Amino acid sequence: MFFWDPTYILLVMLPTLVITGLAQAWVRNAYNKWGNIANGSRINGQQTAQILMRSGAIQPVGLEVTRGQLTDHYDPTSGIVRLSQGVALQPSVAAMAVTAHELGHVQQHQQNSPLIGLRQMLIPSARFGPSIGIMLILAGLFLNATGLATIGLILFAGATVFTLVTLPVELDASRRAMKLLEGAGLLTTEEDRDGANAVLRAAAFTYVAAVASSLLTLLYYAMLVFGGSRRD
């Protein structure tokens, strides 16, 4: 029903398409550019990770190569950093930056970052809150039960809080990434430094887009819930 609501289209759908489209284009362009420029040390992502772990800034973790493009991530449950093939095997500026970002997450976990702890606590609400919340919102609107719809809105808001917390987590991981690379002496040229910053900034904007999209969706549902109660 929401997809045919002009308010939803104007307030949520179109802005989300624009913001996420810009974010994806920025990341793709930055990765394509700096993924084709060799870093000064001529090392790939796997070698970058090994050097950073030997530097003593973080404790060693497992490394795996995974399929796909920009599917890189750190799995804290298994203690493994998974690097996409392009990052793991190419000696590019982008590969070095992306790898360092994932090791920034490793450092966050190993140092028990409060932001990481809060984000981990919010994972269940982000995973189950939206689906349950929407069902309660719909049921509340259908039954004219504002209290039930409000509970649904609160549950849905858990996902928004998760995206809000995720943004500083990702920014902090990028800050740590640059510090790790600097400390290990891997940013040997200004091009390395500029390229790494460019890739990390582009990646950060995807999380800004996620926050904006989540906030717009939450605002729309809040308008439905409390707008309906005022009309009553």
- Catalytic sites, residue numbers: 102
Q: Are 179 and 187 in contact (CB under 8 A)?
A: no
Tell how strand 73-75 and strand 80-84 pair up.
antiparallel
| CA separation for the pair 48, 41 (Å, rounded) | 9
What is the CA 27 to chain-centroid distance, rounded? 12
Q: Which amino acid is at 83?
A: L
Q: Rounded to 5 degrees, what are φ and ψ at 190?
A: -65, -30
| CA separation for the pair 90, 87 (Å, rounded) | 6
Q: Rounded to 5 degrees, what are φ and ψ at 77?
A: -70, -35
Beta bridge partners, 92, equal 38
HSE (CB half, 13 Å, CA atoms) of 28? Answer: 6
- CA distance readout (Å), 115 to 79, 93, 118, 120, 164: 18, 28, 5, 9, 11
